[in-house]
Amino acid sequence: MATSGGRGDNLCGAKTRKGGTCGHPAGYGTDHAGIGKCKYHAGSTPNGRKAAKKEFARRQVETFGLPRDIAPDEALLEEVQRTAGHIAWLGALIQSSDPSELAQYTKDGDKPSVWMELYQSERVHLARVAKAALDAGVAERQVRLAEQQGELLAGAINRILDGLNLSSEQWARVADVVPRELRAVSA
C-alpha cells in the first residue's frame, strides 16, 4: 500500500538534533512497525503509540474509501455497523429465496447467486474493517456493539419489507435502496 499525505516514505521522520530528519523506518523497534515514530523518537511511549494508532486508523479510512469528515475510528465503526447490517439483510434475503432463483447460469455451469457472492464478499469486508478498528485502538466492546446495531437495523428493515408484499419490480429496487439507506443511517 502506498503511503500518502506527504509524511515521508514510511520513515520515522522525527526532527534530529542536527536539523535533519530521522531515517529509520517508520515505527522501527516499536510494536507498530511501518507507522509512526521509531523507538529512538518516542515511538514506544504512550503518546507515540497513540499517535501511531491514529495514523493507522486514518490510513484504513483511506484504504476503505470511508468518509473523512469524521474521526477515523468513528468512520471505521460506522462501516462495521453498515456492513453488519448489509450482511444480516443479505442473509435473510438468501434464506427466504428459492435456491433455483438464486443460481447464476453461466456457460461453465451454475455459479452461486450474485446475492451469495455479495454476502460472502461483505463478510470478508466486515472481518477486515472490524480488525482495522481493533488495530486502531477501538475497544472490542464498541466493535461488537456496532455489529449488533447494524443487525438490529437490518432485522427491522426485513420485517417491514416482509409485511409489504412487494412486487418483484419493487424487490429489485430494494437491493439498491436498502444498502444506500443503511449507509445513510450510520453516517
Q: What DSSP assignment string belongs to 127-160?
A: HHHHHHHHHTT--HHHHHHHHHHHHHHHHHHHHH
The site that binds Zn ion (CB under 5 A) totals a number of residues, namely 7
By beta-carbon proximity to Zn ion, the closer residue of 44 and 81 is 44
Q: Which stretch binds Zn ion (CB under 5 A): 1-9, 10-18, 67-75, 146-154?
A: 10-18
Sole binder of Zn ion in the list 30, 32, 35, 41 (CB under 5 A): 41
By beta-carbon proximity to Zn ion, the closer residue of 12 and 88 is 12
By beta-carbon proximity to Zn ion, the closer residue of 38 and 182 is 38
* Residue 130 binds Zn ion, judged by CB under 5 A: no
59 neighbors 68 (Cβ within 8 angstroms): no
- Could you tell me how many residues make up the chain? 187
By beta-carbon proximity to Zn ion, the closer residue of 29 and 67 is 29
Q: How far apart are CA 120 and CA 36, in angstroms?
A: 34
Torsion angle of alpha carbons 160, 162, 168, 172, nearest 10°?
A: 50
Binding site for Zn ion (CB under 5 A): 12, 14, 22, 24, 38, 40-41
